[in-house]
Amino acid sequence: MHDCVLKMTGITKSFQGVRVLDGVDLEASAGEVHAVVGENGAGKSTLMKILAGAHAPDGGSVEIDGRTVVFGHPVQAQRAGVAIMHQELSLLPERTVAENVFLGREPVRRGLVDRAAMESATAELLDSVGEESFGPRDLVRRLPVARRQVVEIAKALSLNARIVVMDEPTAALAEHEAELLHTLVRRLASRGIAILYVSHRLREILDLADRITVLKDGSRVTTADASTMDAPTLVRLMIGRELDSYYPPRAAEPPGPVKLSVRGGGNARLRGIDLDLRAGEIVGLAGLQGSGRTELAKALFGAAPFTSGEMTPCRPCSVREGIAAGIGLVTEDRKAEGLLLNQPVRDNALLVTRATRMRRPGIERLLERVGLGPLRPTQEVRLLSGGNQQKVVLARWVAAAPRVLLLDEPTRGVDVGAKAAIHELTRELARDGTAVLMISSELPELIGMSDRIVVLRDGRIAGALPAGSTEESVMRLAAAS
Amino acid sequence: MTQQLDLRRLPAVGSFLRRLSADRPARAVYVALALLIVVGWLLFALDGGRFLSQENIVGIQQRSAALGIVAVGQTLVILAGSLDLSVAYLISLTTLVAAETMGGADAGVPVAVAAVLAVSATAGLVNGLIVTRLRVHAFIATLGVALVIRGVLDDRYDGPAGSVPESFQHLGYDRVGPLPVSALLWAAVAASAWFLLSRTRLGCRIYAVGGDAEVARLSGVRGERVVVAAHVLCSLCAGIAGLLLASRLGAGAPTVGTDGGYDLESIAAVVIGGTALAGGRGGVAGTVGGVLLLAVLDSIFNQLEVDSFAKDVVRGVVLVAALAIHARRRTA
Ligand SMILES: Nc1ncnc2c1ncn2[C@@H]1O[C@H](COP(=O)(O)OP(=O)(O)OP(=O)(O)O)[C@@H](O)[C@H]1O
Ligand SMILES: [Mg+2]
């Protein structure tokens, strides 16, 4: 009934002698949403990059519309009708949105780049995905991470491809934005485009996908109709064991002394912030994109300090002061702000402890704690899978053992198994007396983890909710006008 | 009728102005340039002399034309994430190629121009291929090419050689109204480069490859071709500067390029103009400002008869200060 657009057979790939993909088969039909799932490092992105011509496979074949293709360069994949949104954002910060969308395919008229056409086409694309907060002429550098994702989407759409690959497109998006994307995905599929969709969000996969392929350690475990799958089965196939409850139990005893408190904190983006973080307590910070959650975390840390208000024990004016005061921040944009990509895992994990001459914990135990156990500490971070990079950032702060830990989207792009491990770890740190502030765009996670939820709106605190509040009540507070 | 013309022109002019004013580093250079001119003017006014007489301006334009042309080429390679240290020796070589091919005869001029362009394009091609194919860092690759050219020069010449016919010397000394022909040539080269960067695909891709080579690759840009093209264009600019200098000197000179310090000076002018040494950010407008800034500084020194040590110190300070200011403005 369906025509098979894509057929990948027996794909193998090794990096420096380590086998990453081992005889993987993958098919997609016109109009199908085909989800690809698996743990961090299972080889999903590598498989997608092979399809997009960014890596050459060591073995196996790729057929598009029944014809065998060999891509030596991404441009050939584009011409064959493959568009890809890479997991790590691939945009040029110094160029405009339009220039990024049409990079490599700038429309020309009489030999010259037709900027007007480029900008109006970009405006249309942005329109079609419901984006209003920026325009084609804005510099990408000025957009927040989640908005950059939209630029990637527009770029993939502009190719008019027959096969669209999305590698964790919703990782940086909030719930309602993810829903916009889902609508878009369905619309593309109804136009007869084959979509390969990589994600760690099981709910959206079960919602969206027609078929699901599970990868584990570089091999295909199964491909099955989504209708025959449910979340527990999927988890078992992915990580090879059952995962009973997602969220660790909350602390039994009431929170301890206040470790950090702000009164009337303000700067260019924030106003009148009153906030107490207590030992043993996990405070969830909710809010829409642009409500100032990241700005608040940065202000507490000293990276973008408060310019007014009181803060105890001290108001850090720089990151150094923040760290000295025992505050740690796991940033949301790991590539730009979090990691030294060309350095080994070990140096990245020990960066803070080293810079501040703190005592160094055993590196193996540290990596074990954040779920990076099987990794060589000398591996360059650049070569790690996306989710594992995230764990390295976390390891750094676990090593530093701060008194106050700020987590900005700590589980972005992390697989379900590791996510549970990070939740467990966070709870354990809180139990040991750390005050934790956690930002997450995934409301179920935020609600499941937090002892108290503080909601931001337009740079102000809109209110606080107790543990176990519903998603609706959080959203109502976040969006009220 | 006129209305129709206006309508068609307005968007183009608007987009030009918009892009120029969006180019903040370039704006900063022009502000600095204006300040420097005011300072110079005050210095001389207090002294009772005159700064920026017409002769003075012509002098500045003439002196900066050759450097300006090289710096425009340098801007292209630096934007593409590369660098060219071979321009100084290439300039010397091309003055010799020009003067020897002409041999004092008018008939030789077209052949000589073609020969110079061919020689410089070849040098650029070699630079580009070493950088992209052999993956040698541009610093070393172009230094190597520079040494090879020096070897040729040292081996074959001990002093000026060849001669340039009178007709060709117009290029170096004539004026159109108040403007020297050489300055017009510089303006033309700069305008072409500006046009290339803002209105052609190659221009877009130069920014892309310099900004992030991997991102460019994943977007379907063939980065190697872009870098090679930038190197060829840069060397062509050096060749044009060589022609200009040959016409001024009346002969080819094996040390004219290195005496003028065109390699490091052109890079200095580019970074003073706000182009990032790592590539991907900046433009020709800033470079032109950077060249003018250096030239005005020189002419103030000359008029004040400052000794050459103090001159070098101040130029060094200006360079470092410019970089520091651009860095500050970026993070602010
Ligand atoms: N260029 C490379 N050189 C060496 N190893 C690499 C390279 N790219 C990926 N790897 C390794 O290949 C394995 C698979 O990585 P890949 O990025 O495909 O995982 P993934 O399934 O996409 O994981 P995630 O869910 O975390 O994104 C990882 O162990 C990674 O370290
Ligand atoms: Mg991945």
| Helix (H/G/I), strand (E/B), else coil: A108 | strand
A218: left (phi over 0), alpha (psi -120 to 50) or beta: left
**pLDDT tens digits, one per residue of B24-34:** 667 788 888 88
CA of B79 to the centre of ligand 2 (A): 31
Residue that wins the pLDDT comparison between B144 and A87: B144
**pLDDT tens digits, one per residue of B168-214:** 888 888 888 878 899 999 999 999 999 999 889 999 999 999 998 98
pLDDT of residue B4: 43
Q: How far away is chain B from the Cα of A75, in angstroms, using its nearest Cα?
A: 4
Ligand 1 near A450 CB (within 6 A) = no
Decide if pLDDT at B267 tops 70: yes
Integer angstrom CA distances of residue A306 from A263, A271, A298, A299 = 11, 9, 9, 5
Q: Which two tokens stand for residue A416?
A: 């379900």
pLDDT of residue B8: 42
Sign of CA dihedral A313, A314, A315, A319: negative
Q: What is the DSSP letter of A335?
A: I
Smallest CA-to-CA distance from B219 within A109, A386, A112, A155 is with: A155
**Residue in the structure block whose two tokens are 């591996």:** A379
CA of A413 to the centre of ligand 1 (A): 13
> For residues A182-206, b (16+ Cβ closer than 10 Å) or e, as one string?
bebbeebbeeebbbbbbbbbbebbb
Strand partners, A437: A283, A406
Q: What is the mean pLDDT of chain B?
A: 86
CA–CA gap between residue B60 and residue B68 (Å, rounded): 11
Decide if pLDDT at B18 tops 80: no
Strand partners, B175: B180
Mean pLDDT for the stretch of residues A447-471? 88
pLDDT of residue B7: 42
Mean pLDDT for the stretch of residues A196-223? 90
Does a cis peptide bond (omega within 30 degrees of 0) precede residue A344? Answer: no
**pLDDT tens digits, one per residue of A403-444:** 899 999 888 878 887 888 888 888 888 888 889 999 988 888
CA–CA gap between residue B53 and residue A89 (Å, rounded): 54
Q: What is the mean pLDDT of chain A?
A: 85
CB within 8 Å of A229: residues ≥ 6 apart: A206, A212
Strands (E) in A123-281, as ranges, are 163-167, 194-198, 211-216, 219-225, 258-266, 273-278
Backbone angles phi, psi at B82, to 5 degrees: -115, -155
**pLDDT tens digits, one per residue of A155-169:** 888 888 889 999 888
Decide if pLDDT at B86 tops 90: yes
Strand partners, A194: A163
Which residue is closest to A98 within chain B, CA to CA?
B204
pLDDT of residue A1: 42
* ipTM confidence: 0.80
CA–CA gap between residue B214 and residue B220 (Å, rounded): 10
CA of B44 to the centre of ligand 1 (A): 66
The percentage of chain B sitting over the pLDDT mark of 90, rounded to a whole number, equals 51
Q: Please say whether the beta carbons of A27 and A63 come within 8 A.
A: no
Sign of CA dihedral B147, B251, B230, A72: negative
Mean pLDDT for the stretch of residues A91-99? 91
Q: How far away is chain B from the Cα of A477, in angstroms, using its nearest Cα?
A: 34
Picking from A142-151, A291-300, B48-57, which range would have the lowest pLDDT averaged per residue? B48-57
Ligand 1 near A44 CB (within 6 A) = yes
Q: Which residues of A touch B11 (CB under 8 A)?
A: 116
Most trustworthy range by pLDDT among A330-344, A375-389, B270-284: B270-284
**pLDDT tens digits, one per residue of B308-327:** 888 888 888 888 888 888 87
Q: Which residues of B touch A140 (CB under 8 A)?
A: none
pLDDT of residue B6: 44
Strands (E) in chain B, as ranges, are 175-176, 179-180
B1 pLDDT band, cuts 50/70/90, is very low
Integer angstrom CA distances of residue A96 from A153, B67, B206, B266, B293 = 15, 31, 15, 28, 29
Decide if pLDDT at B140 tops 90: yes
Q: Please say whether the beta carbons of A394 and A402 come within 8 A.
A: no
Q: Please say whether the beta carbons of A156 and A180 come within 8 A.
A: no
Decide if pLDDT at B23 tops 50: yes
Q: Which residues of A touch B220 (CB under 8 A)?
A: 73-75, 78, 103-105
pLDDT of residue A244: 63
The percentage of chain A sitting over the pLDDT mark of 70, rounded to a whole number, equals 95
CA–CA gap between residue B77 and residue B287 (Å, rounded): 13
Over its C-alpha atoms, chain B yields an Rg (Å, rounded) of 20
Most trustworthy range by pLDDT among A75-79, A295-299, B141-145: B141-145
Q: Please say whether the beta carbons of A230 and A199 come within 8 A.
A: no
Decide if pLDDT at A267 tops 50: yes
Smallest CA-to-CA distance from A212 within A200, A197, A201, A232 is with: A197
Within an 8 Å CB–CB cutoff, is residue B194 touching chain A? no
CB within 8 Å of A112: residues ≥ 6 apart: B199, B200
| Single-letter amino acid code for the residue at A344 | P
Q: Do A74 and B220 touch (CB under 8 A)?
A: yes
Q: Please say whether the beta carbons of A12 and A6 come within 8 A.
A: no
CA of A203 to the centre of ligand 1 (A): 24
To the nearest 5 percent, what fractions of chain A are helix, strand and coil? Answer: 35, 25, 40
The percentage of chain A sitting over the pLDDT mark of 90, rounded to a whole number, equals 22
A92: left (phi over 0), alpha (psi -120 to 50) or beta: beta
Ligand 1 near A37 CB (within 6 A) = no
**pLDDT tens digits, one per residue of A101-141:** 999 888 888 888 888 999 999 999 888 877 788 899 999 98
Smallest CA-to-CA distance from A264 within A272, A253, A256 is with: A272
Which residue is closest to B196 within chain A, CA to CA?
A112
CB-nearest to B211 from A74, A94, A155 is A94
A340 pLDDT band, cuts 50/70/90, is confident
Strand partners, B161: B252
Work out the burial of residue A378: count CB atoms within 10 Å of its CB; fewer than 13 is exposed, 13-18 middle, 19 or more buried.
exposed
Decide if pLDDT at A183 tops 70: yes
CA–CA gap between residue B325 and residue A259 (Å, rounded): 39
Predicted TM-score of the model (pTM): 0.79
User: What's the order of all strands across the beta sheet hosting A82-85?
Assistant: A82-85, A163-167, A194-198, A33-38, A211-216, A219-225
Mean pLDDT for the stretch of residues B73-86? 96
